[in-house]
Every structure is written in structure tokens, then in C-alpha cells.
Amino acid sequence: MHSSAIFRATAPGRSLLLSLGLLAAAITSGAGAEDYPHAQEPIGTVEQIYDGAMLPDLAVSTYRNIDRLFPTHRIKAGDHPYALPKSDKQLPNVRFTVGDKKYDLYDFVALDSITAMLVLKDGKIVFETYQRGNTEKTRWMSMSIAKSITSTLAAAAIKDGLIKGLDAQVVDYVPELKGSAYEGVTVRDVLMMSSGVKWNETYTDPASDRRALLKAQISQKPRSAMALMASLPRAAEPGTANTYSTGETQVLGEIVRGAVKMPLADYLSQKIWQPFGMESDARWWLDSPDGVEIGGSGISATLRDYGRFGLFFMNGGKINGTSILPEGWVKEATLPTKLKGGKSLDYGYMWWTAWTEPSMKDGAYSAVGIQGQNIYINPANNVVIVTFGAQPKPVDKEPIDPMVFFDAVVAALK
């Protein structure tokens, strides 16, 4: 990789971020970067991602090279990929209406800045496309899709007896949080993002808690993320209020790490990536060199492997006929949850419940990441849809609601 590419893409005064990018690049180069088709492309900075301050070409090359932004752990794949055969019946052009406007598949891909999409029906590929130079080898950023994966690792640790159930106390697994607002908070509270700990998730606000967490990550100082989380005040009693919080997922990642006594990337590889049959190694951002994975973002994997994860979860977490997840977990994790006062949330255990009529009827749910990342799962129709997006802003500016399009895809496959 040409280090000058990072110099050109980095704004003045960001020497720490520049050094970090060079460090991550060097680590990645030592891990077979020469085999990666995008390894020589110029990239922007992680701050530009959250500021929404990149033009399309730079955004695309950055999103498929996020393992050059921070040091990572490798999520190792196995030697026997789960087969994804091509279906005899391919997806036709999908047409749908929103209000008084008519759209089709081509509109969705273009308007929502989709750079790759995979549609699986009954475990077979009915549609697959790669745009903007992406290929089957492209590893694309997950953003908050990682939250649903971290949640699933927590479930596996519960099944393994390493986390003592949903009512287990956070501080039993993350000692640094003893005496903080996380005292009295359970694993269930964290999974529901209802710890009651005060948090501002505004990506584009430099003064937000989300950006403070990003600064901790940029510092690459060991344990700085947990120091931030331990410093936060309580805004509500645990279990009584929901606040979307990437910090909460960092806490969940620390819970899993404290329980399983190994890197999350290794646990993911051992429990799912290798035994289920992912085809390619993936990467996961770290909070510091050889530190703890970023629970709420930073996984980069291939389109088909995200699709395989969708199949794994839709089918109850079964590998060789036996589930690695607690009984009933998939349903419990993907239905609306309830706070202690009885209020229902449109959120499961770090999975988004459906918000359109057809998907709600089918019990569909999604792992969703900013800038256009989706794993949509419709169990009633055995459909999984994965999208890579390169949307310019980390805010809700999608011209077309992706779930409306996903509903149209499901209808077209019936």
C-alpha cells in the first residue's frame, strides 16, 4: 500500500489518526493484503465516515478497506464453505410503489447507493450483483450489523454456560464498571439498550458520547473505551428506558470477552465462522493493538458470508443439526421487547424488528448498519437479503426505505 494515499486522504492536523492508519495498514499488509483486490486504493479517515464528508469514490474505497483504519483481529474461516448454489429461478425486475411514485430494482440500487446485493431464497442465490468495482472477494464494513453479531456471541456464551443467563450482572464480567452507573444492570438490559446509562448517539455531533467513544478508539489506549463507559451518569433506572447506544454494545463485547476468556474474533471463528462454513476470513476492529474488539462496529466480511450468517441465524443457529444458541433465542431476540413499565420497543436483542406491514406479518427482522448495510431475514418465506451501501451520510437519508424494497422482493419470489 502506498502510504502517500493516506496522507492525501487525511485532513491536516490528524497526525494521530494518520499514524494509526499506517499502523493498521502495516498490520494488514503482514496478513496477506497483497491478495486483496482493493489493497492499493486510497482511503479516507474514520472521522470522515462519521462526519459524512467523503465524495463517492473515496467513500467506496474506504468502506472496503476499513481494516486499514485500525488494527484488527482476523476472523478465520474454515476449509469447507457452506454451499450457496444458484437457483434455477432468478429474481425478476422488482417493481413497487411508494406513495404516488413508482420504483424498480434499478432505482433502489442507484438511489440508495447500493454497491453489492445478495438475495437468497431457500438457501439458493436468486440475485447477486457487485457494483463500483466490488467483487466476491470484497470485504465491506458492517457498521451496526456488528451489534447483531455481538448479541449472537453473547447468546452462544450463555448456551456454553460462560454467561449465567440474561439476568447476570454486567459488573461480574467487566470489573472496571464496578461502582459505575452499570451497577445493577443485567445482560438483558444491555441487550435491550435499556441500562439507563445516559448516552447521546448523534454520529455527526463532535460533542456526542458516540464521538467520544470514537475518540477513545482512535487513541488506541488500552481500556479507554471502558473508562469512558464507567464515567457516564445514570439517566434512568435499569430496564425502564431505551436509548440506542453503540457504547452499550461495547459493554456487551466486554461481557462476552470477560466470560469466554478469548478475543471475540476467535470465539466467532470457533463457534460460527468455521463450523458453519464461511468462505473467507473476515476482520474486526480493536480498541487498541491486540486489544478488545469494537462490539458495535468494525467487522468487515464478504457479501456471501454475511448471507451465510443470515442463514445460520434464520435457521435457529443450527450447525450440523444442533443449535449453538439457547432454546428459543432467535424468536426472543427478534421480537419487540418490553421495558419494566410495560412499554414495547421496536427492537429486540440488538436486532431491529420489522417496521412495514408485510414484514411485520412475516415476523421479519434485520441487522442494520448506517450508510446502507443490511441483513434482512424473512423466516416465513425463507428469504435473506444482504446489501452493501455507500451512502454519503450516517443519517437517515435513504431515498427508498430498504424494507419497502425487501417486501417487494419477497412478494416477487412467491
Residue-wise pLDDT for 80-132, tens only, equals 999 999 999 999 999 999 999 999 999 999 999 999 999 999 999 999 999 99
**pLDDT range class, residue 16, cuts 50, 70, 90:** very low
Q: Tens of pLDDT along 52-70?
A: 999 999 999 999 999 999 9
- Does the pLDDT at position 10 exceed 50? no
Instruction: Specify the pTM.
Output: 0.92
- Does the pLDDT at position 17 exceed 80? no
What is the pLDDT averaged over residues 155-183? 97
Which of 118, 142, 113, 141 shows the shortest CA–CA distance to 129? 118
| Contact between residue 269 and residue 324 where contact means Cβ atoms under 8 Å apart | no
Calculate the alpha carbon distances from 58 to 30, 72, 143, 222 in Å. 24, 21, 17, 30
- Does the pLDDT at position 20 exceed 80? no
Residue 259 has phi, psi (to 5 degrees) of -80, -45
Arithmetic mean of pLDDT over the chain: 92
- Does the pLDDT at position 413 exceed 50? yes
**pLDDT range class, residue 188, cuts 50, 70, 90:** very high
**pLDDT range class, residue 304, cuts 50, 70, 90:** very high
Q: What is the pLDDT of residue 26?
A: 42
**pLDDT range class, residue 354, cuts 50, 70, 90:** very high
- Does the pLDDT at position 334 exceed 50? yes
Which of 73-77, 286-290, 330-334 has the least mean pLDDT?
286-290
Q: What is the pLDDT of residue 23?
A: 47
Q: What is the pLDDT of residue 33?
A: 52
- Does the pLDDT at position 28 exceed 80? no
**pLDDT range class, residue 366, cuts 50, 70, 90:** very high
**pLDDT range class, residue 395, cuts 50, 70, 90:** confident
- Does the pLDDT at position 18 exceed 60? no
What is the pLDDT averaged over residues 352-358? 97
- Does the pLDDT at position 321 exceed 60? yes
- Does the pLDDT at position 21 exceed 90? no
CB-based contacts of 129, cutoff 8 Å, min separation 6: 109, 116, 117
Q: What percent of the chain stands above pLDDT 90?
A: 88
**Exposure letters 277-316 (e unless 16+ CB within 10 A, then b):** bbbbbbbbbbbbeebbbbbbbbbbbbbbbbbbbbbbbbbb
- Does the pLDDT at position 34 exceed 60? no
What is the pLDDT averaged over residues 168-178? 97
- Does the pLDDT at position 4 exceed 70? no
Q: What is the pLDDT of residue 330?
A: 98
Q: What is the pLDDT of residue 14?
A: 42
Q: What is the pLDDT of residue 203?
A: 82
Q: Who wins on pLDDT, 298 or 27?
A: 298
Q: What is the pLDDT of residue 30?
A: 40
